[in-house]
Amino acid sequence: MRNVSIQKIGQALGTPCEGETQVTGYQIDSRRIGPGELFFALKGGRTDGHAHLAEAKERGAVGAVVSKGYGGPDFGLLLLPVEDVTLSLQGLASRFIEEERPYMIGISGSLGKTTAREFIATLLEGKFRVGKTELNYNTKLTYPITLLNRRGDEEVLVVELGITEPGDMERLLQIAAPDLSVLTRVAWVHGAFFPRGLLDIAKEKGKIFSHPRTKKCIFHHGLYEYPEAIEQIHGEKVSFSMEDRSADYFLSGEYFIDEKGVRAYRFDPPYKQAHVLHNFLAAVSVARAMKLEWDEINRQVPKLQLPKMRFEEYEKGGVIFVNDAYNANPDSMRAALSHLPEPKEGGKRIAVLGMMVDMGPESENIHREVGRFAQKYVDHLLVMGEEAAPIYEAFQEGKKPAEQHLQFETLAERLKELMRPGDVVLVKASRCVQMEKLFNLLN
């Protein structure tokens, strides 16, 4: 909630603070502070927010929520001392969202959360005032910032709920549970934290449907393969699929959508890749649940845009680049590799791939499988980092050229040597690799 007096915030946190100074926004990253905002000095594994109070002030913060144990200078900030900064952040978001609550649509899934979020918001903007998660603020620490920084006039708020380990979803729902929840697809992501693999991942993500507040539950039809996840659903069940015609919403190869077994509408979506169409179908299912007519939905379809670094295509110097560097897991790797655009006559496909994190004890085999899968679609492979070596080794088994690099600089120089007009270059890895650095070095 923006433009609230710091006195009201202090009251909500149980720490008296005099004054009518208006707080214009909330941040946990001191580098993102803007004029009039409130800084939460969280203690993390890498840094302690209390060490960045001076920077917060320099960037325009008016106050900071700090631990009661903090005994340093205030740097001219109004300090709000609390027992636990993280719990105070979550509690404040939970309290303020209930004061002016919009209809909330929550999205989770192993693949496509952000694309589904963007598509859902775009389709609904034709009928409602819509707010949405900015950046990827979808964790126990950043989800509260999404809620606190909303405009305040939204009729519908579309939010992501991201999990890494067991218990995450329950905490997110305690902060603010959606009225309508969406689960895109379950895949091997953060598998290191789930002993039973996909069974546990499906059950944890399926908890997005477990809160009594959630009355509509929209999910990929494949979730029925995991009864423990389905058992958690208490609201209305709506499934979508591109593979199973028994789903409530089915998308055929001709872009016809069947609604509950009846041919309903034909679209001309701007993106034709199967993994993107999956998210489009999820968004259409939500729009129908929100009572939009088919023509109302169709008017918004030309406005759909993919988020940055998600299969983002552009051409430079005659080379088609596919920037899919935001994140990676086995399913998204296969989707990207199998949907690369055709090179121009005489051109080749080059893949620049990095590691996939949190794959658990099967990590080496999972990386090798991606390397073998790439043999069918890639002419020349460049691998970044020691952790991605199994991709490189497996790809070599197909007797196609492959190289491994440990530095972005050498990787960029080699890619410059290889590229020719007409080529297609895919760049993809997990977020921690920050593979987008490569594009800066190619300029």
- 89 domain-assigned: no
What spatial distance separates the first Cα and last Cα of the chain, rounded to whole Å?
A: 41
Number of C-beta neighbours around residue 98 at 10 A? 9
Q: List own/partner pairs for 223-230 with CB under 8 A and 24 or more apart.
A: 223/183, 223/186, 226/186, 226/198, 226/199, 226/202, 228/199, 228/202, 228/203, 229/186, 229/202, 229/203, 229/205, 230/206
Residue % of the chain over a pLDDT of 70? 98
Show which of 17, 51, 84 is a domain's final residue. 84
- Dihedral angle over CA of 166, 172, 174, 176, nearest 10: -160
Whether residue 282 lies inside any domain: the answer is yes
Q: Provide mean pLDDT across the span 319-342.
A: 92
Sign of CA dihedral 279, 280, 283, 289: negative
Contact indicator for 202, 239 with CB cutoff of 8 Å: no
Q: For residue range 345-360, what is the model confidence (pLDDT) as tens digits?
A: 899 999 999 999 888 8
Mean pLDDT, residues 148-167 taken together: 93
Alpha-carbon dihedral sign for residues 170, 171, 177, 183: negative
pLDDT at 432 over 80: yes
Q: Above 80 in pLDDT, residue 82?
A: yes
Coil vs helix vs strand at 54: helix
**Per-residue model confidence (pLDDT) at position 193:** 67
pLDDT at 20: 83
Average pLDDT on 138-159 reads 96
What are the distances in angstroms from CA 144 to CA 27, 101, 163? 10, 14, 14
- Over residues 136-157, the mean pLDDT reads 95
Sheet-wide strand order for 103-108? 130-132, 156-160, 103-108, 180-183, 216-220, 236-241, 249-251, 256-259, 262-266
User: Considering the domain boundaries, does residue 95 fall inside one?
Assistant: no
**128 plus 255 within the same structural domain:** yes
Same domain, 289 and 372: no
Q: So what's the pLDDT on residue 190?
A: 59
| CATH number, position 176 | 3.40.1190.10
State pLDDT tens for residues 24-69.
999 999 999 999 999 999 998 788 999 999 999 999 999 999 999 9
Asked whether residue 299 falls in the same domain as residue 157, the answer is: yes
Q: Residue 1 pLDDT more than 90?
A: no
- 147 and 78 both lie in a single domain: no
> In this structure, what CATH number is given to the domain that contains residue 58?
3.40.1390.10
What does the pLDDT read at residue 36? 97
Instruction: List the CATH number of the domain containing 386.
Output: 3.90.190.20
Which structural domain range is residue 46 located in? 4-84
Total number of domains constituting the chain:
3
Average pLDDT (7-36) is 93
| Same-domain check for residues 229 and 353 | no
| Domain-embedded: residue 317 | yes
Whether 298 and 324 map to the same domain: the answer is: no
Beta carbons of 355 and 365 less than 8 angstroms apart: no
Q: Which residues of 47-79 are buried (b: 16+ CB within 10 A; e: fewer)?
A: eebbebbeebbebebbbbbbbeebeeeeeebbb
Average pLDDT over residues 88-116: 94
Task: Dump pLDDT digits (tens) for 201-215.
Answer: 889 899 999 999 999
Q: What is the pLDDT of residue 233?
A: 95
| 428 and 325 Cβ atoms separated by less than 8 Å | yes
Q: Does residue 114 lie within any of the structural domains?
A: yes
The partner residues of 183 in beta bridges, in order of sequence, read 108, 219
292 found inside a domain: yes
- Domain endpoint, select from 84, 111, 129: 84
Average pLDDT over the chain, rounded to an integer: 94
Q: Which residues of 271-308 are buried (b: 16+ CB within 10 A; e: fewer)?
A: bebebbbbbbbbbbbbbbbbebebeebbebbeebebee
- Whether the per-residue pLDDT at 188 is higher than 70: the answer is no
pLDDT at 23: 96
| Judgement on whether residues 415 and 348 belong to the same structural domain of the protein | yes
Residue 279: pLDDT band by 50, 70, 90 thresholds? Answer: very high
> Could you tell me if 108 and 247 lie in one domain?
yes
**Do 319 and 297 share a structural domain?**
no
In a domain, residue 90? The reply is: no
pLDDT the model gives residue 387: 93
Residue 93 lies in a domain: no
Q: Which class for 380: exposed (0-12), middle (13-18), buried (19 or more C-beta within 10 A)? A: buried
Is a pLDDT exceeding 80 seen at residue 192? no
Q: Report pLDDT for 136.
A: 85
Same domain, 293 and 151: yes
Return the beta strands (E) in 243-348 as ranges.
249-251, 256-259, 262-266, 312-316, 319-323
Do 155 and 297 lie in one domain? The reply is yes
Least confident range from 21-35, 224-238, 326-340: namely 326-340
392 and 278 fall within a common domain: no
Domain C-terminal end among 246, 274, 303? 303
3-class secondary-structure state, position 218: strand
For residue 21, pLDDT over 80 is answered with yes
